[in-house]
Structure 1
């Protein structure tokens, strides 16, 4: 199965905006649900783009499964994020004014896409996620984030995302010259907290 490009737009029209935010929903979610998060973020002047996963899932297995078991869905999902990013660039918005945000499965996809295509972005937010694969294949990730601000938040424990994978992912982003803020909440559950919202508004959506 492959995904088809289906983007829900909100915020400022692309041709009027100077900044854009790509939002990636989690398993079982949809574009509208992740877009509703923008009401709590300082993104009133941003173009908002939320691609929709086929059958509400970006890939079928856990993000910790061998990559081959999540193909061809995973490669197609990465490609969908790339196509969404290209639409923003074609509208004249520069890469350093493009932001990425994802929750859960969408957070994993956010980290995976940006690590595979490292450059200076406006900011990267992963609400409970990590790089994808049974083992992290470090050779997949090259480039220089040039101090792109990155926020990765999670709970310890989290049923879906082991905190060890969050730490390992954060370290790789640091190695690639990202300015990483990592926040681990005790027994918070698989959700997005008000504290995380306040942090990303202060650190990234300034």
Structure 2
């Protein structure tokens, strides 16, 4: 079996050190991007006390085809990408530190949508910007016993007419999360640019602030 090339790249740590952070954000970049892109997003959010953990896709892509392609067309890279998220998040959650929120943009949001709906992990929050679960058709998702999405508040952002991510799939992803008991807030912009606009940055800052652990007494 060939090695998982995504795991040959160590995540970049940006912001507050993990040992003193009040919140951890595991933030996944899109196709053609790098952790530096998500570091810029972190700086725009500008929330103190946050440790940003920024994974890196091998050759700047988590999987080769469109997220709307049949999943088998994106293998083995897709399974490697899911395994990378699974392993890196498990490491963060095992530390029993501050709350952990996931954030993804574009291909990163698609990867996280698929991971969250499949694995249903216990997390403090999820922000998915311009992305949805994978595959050419809509799918039905079933809650797994003992998993943790029922208390999750998912924040979704997208554009009315994005060049790569159709609105109907983001809406279907919103429905999928609701079917698993999540509270979902979907914001749709009349903004054709494939980016984080200032309003989404403001809303992400508010969302993360609400999930930041209070400071501990010395």
Q: Same fold (TM over 0.5)?
A: yes
- SS of residue paired to 1:15: helix
Residues 1:36 and 2:40 are matched in the alignment: yes
Task: Choose 1 or 2 for highest CA Rg.
Answer: 2
- The number of residues matched between the two structures is 204
**Which residue number corresponds to residue 109 of structure 1?**
111
**Which residue number corresponds to residue 180 of structure 1?**
184
**Which residue number corresponds to residue 132 of structure 1?**
134
Q: CA deviation at 1:106?
A: 0.6
Alignment root-mean-square deviation, CA: 1.9
Query: Could you say if the C-alpha distance between residues 49 and 150 of structure 1 is closer, same or farther in structure 2, counting changes exceeding 3 Å?
Result: same
Q: CA deviation at 1:205?
A: 2.8
CA distance in 2, matches of 1:180, 1:201: 17
Q: Higher mean Cα deviation, 137-146 or 7-16?
A: 137-146
Equivalent residue for 1:55, pick from 59, 62, 71? 59
TM-score by length of 2: 0.86
Runs of 4+ in 1 over 3 A off after TM superposition: 139-144
CA distance in 2, matches of 1:28, 1:12: 26
Query: Could you say if the C-alpha distance between residues 29 and 140 of structure 1 is closer, same or farther in structure 2, counting changes exceeding 3 Å?
Result: farther
Superposition map of 1:124-163 within 5 A: 124-139=126-141, 142=144, 143-163=147-167
Superposition map of 1:76-115 within 5 A: 76-93=80-97, 97-115=99-117
Superposition map of 1:67-82 within 5 A: 67-82=71-86
CA distance in 2, matches of 1:182, 1:204: 16
Do the aligned residues in 2 keep the contact of 1:15 with 1:91 (CA within 8 Å)?
no
Which 5+ residue runs of structure 1 have no aligned equivalent? none
TM-score by length of 1: 0.91
**Which residue number corresponds to residue 6 of structure 2?**
4
CA distance in 1, matches of 2:127, 2:87: 19
